[in-house]
Amino acid sequence: MSRHDTSPRIPVASPELGSRERERVLDVLDSGLLADGPEVRAFEEEFATQCGVDHAVGTANGTAALHAALRACGIGEGDTVVTTPLSFVATANAVRFCGARPVFADVDPETYNLDPESVRAVVEREGGVDAVLPVHLYGLPADVDALADIAAERDAALVEDAAQAHGARYRGDPVGSLGDAAAFSFYPTKNMTTGEGGMVVTDEESVADRAARFVNHGRDGTGTYVDVGHNFRMTSIAGAIGRAQLPRLDAFVRARRRNAARLNDALVDSAVTTPVEPDGRRHAYHQYTVRCEHRDALVAHLDDAGIDTGVYYPDPIHELPAYDGVDASCPVAERAAREVVSLPVHPALTDEQVERVATALREYDDP
């Protein structure tokens, strides 16, 4: 698209909200029950079913969900949690909120998820680990079997950061059902949204009970404050939006996968490296992330063509000022952070817009 072209820009994300979401929010407003209540309980049950687990606990946001999941799995002061540096900072922050120490292992160069061999080396160097925290980055499940083996060998918890992976599957099982607990985010850019919101899911009743107390001031089912907790509860308005979004999730993911498949086919001989989907893993394509040696030039080219992009993430966590002094050797993650860029793949894209993205990429010559 030239600078004089009047075609609208293609956004990198576009939440899909419709009449059903509006109706449910109005129902909540009419009821007067705006805070945590029956609407949230119903959403929890429905989301647990979606994930193939027995329990779900709604939270105010995805960071709160991850914090609660770790705490509910027993992570506390002085513990060690191995995780990835190629993620949103909340992954590591949640570990620190627990008083634990995040230790970073490197990532696989093709999937950008935690590399089990690097995790094993870090665990051996540390002399132990209390939890392994993989991120299903961009919507692609991590190598859960290998990571679960490492966790089991050390009697450590396996907690999934599934904030980007609604609708993804690993060997046929939904993400969220693969570890001791998992955390989801419902931020507006995610595969489904509640505006702000999150969810802890687990098969363990004791983990669910601890998470539910933690997000509700430490209050148990009898109304007694038995722990010190936070007010991390989900609102009924968020729950109502989530209940309207959830039946649409499968269609959203199918659309994302369809758009990704078209881009994969169109970009075979292009200057970018397209995403992979290893056997046994169903990518949910929260992001369609390509790789290019001269990323800034590619971003500028796409911007000139009226196509928005996102870089997730330009700095690995251990290189952020907030983590100054953290010792980590993650050269694969560091290089990926310099080269990855995410393209529009969301369900609102038209066929013409997908073709515009593909054409712009085919026209790009890497310097």
* 267 and 225 fall within a common domain: no
Whole-number Å distance between alpha carbons of 367 and 364:
9
Asked, for residue 310, whether it belongs to a domain, the answer is yes
* pLDDT values of the chain reduced to their tens digit, one per residue, 367 residues: 444 456 899 999 999 999 999 999 999 999 999 999 999 999 999 999 999 999 999 999 999 999 999 999 999 999 999 999 999 999 999 999 999 999 999 999 999 999 999 999 999 999 999 999 999 999 999 999 999 999 999 999 999 999 999 999 999 999 999 999 999 999 999 999 999 999 999 999 999 999 999 999 999 989 999 999 999 999 999 999 999 999 999 999 999 999 999 999 999 989 999 999 999 999 999 999 999 999 999 999 999 999 999 999 999 999 999 999 999 999 999 999 999 999 999 999 999 999 999 999 999 987 7
Q: Judge if the upstream peptide bond of residue 170 is cis by omega within 30 degrees of 0.
A: no
Is residue 222 included in any domain, yes or no?
yes
Has residue 2 been placed in a domain? no
Alpha helices, DSSP H, located in the chain: 19-31, 38-51, 62-72, 90-97, 116-126, 144-153, 205-214, 236-245, 249-266, 295-304, 331-339, 351-362
Take residue 29 and report the two structure tokens written for it.
């407003």
Do both 274 and 141 map to the same domain? Answer: no
pLDDT given at position 3: 45
Residues 216 and 113 in one domain: yes
Say yes or no: 267 and 123 in one domain: no
What's 115's domain CATH number?
3.40.640.10
Residue 214 and residue 283 in one domain: no
Q: Does residue 27 lie within any of the structural domains?
A: yes
* Other residues' Cβ atoms within 10 Å of the Cβ of residue 18: 10
Give per-residue pLDDT as tens, 196-243: 999 999 999 999 999 999 999 999 989 999 999 999 999 999 999 999
In a domain? residue 5: no
Based on the fold, state whether residues 294 and 222 are members of the same structural domain: no
| Domain stops at, among 189, 216, 247 | 247
CATH code (residue 347) = 3.90.1150.10
Domain of 93, in residue numbers: 19-247
On whether residue 43 sits in a domain, the answer given is: yes
The residue assigned the tokens 């600078």 is 3
Write down the pLDDT at residue 366. Answer: 77
Collect all residues with Cβ–Cβ distance below 8 Å to 222 and sequence separation of at least 6.
none
Statement to judge: residues 221 and 315 lie in one domain: no
Same domain, 164 and 302: no
In terms of domains, do 169 and 226 share one? yes
Task: Provide the pLDDT for residue 265.
Answer: 97
Give the count of domains, the chain: 2
Would you say residue 213 lies in a domain?
Answer: yes
**Residue 170 carries which side chain, given as an amino acid letter?**
Y
| Residue that terminates a domain, selected from 247, 266, 293 | 247
Which residue type does 322 have? A
Tell me what pLDDT residue 6 has: 64
Q: What is the tens place of the pLDDT at every residue in 19-78?
A: 999 999 999 999 999 999 999 999 999 999 999 999 999 999 999 999 999 999 999 999
One domain, residues 229 and 308: no
Cα 119 from chain centre? 20
Say if residue 116 is in the same domain as residue 172.
Answer: yes
- Answer whether 336's CB lies under 8 Å from 109's CB: yes
Both tokens of 83, joined, read: 């995780």
In-domain check, residue 135: yes
To the nearest 10°, report the CA torsion of 151, 155, 156, 162: 50
**Do 266 and 239 have their domain in common?**
no
Q: Out of 187, 218, 247, pick the residue that ends a domain.
A: 247
Q: Could you tell me the pTM of the whole model?
A: 0.96
Beta bridge partners of 307: 10
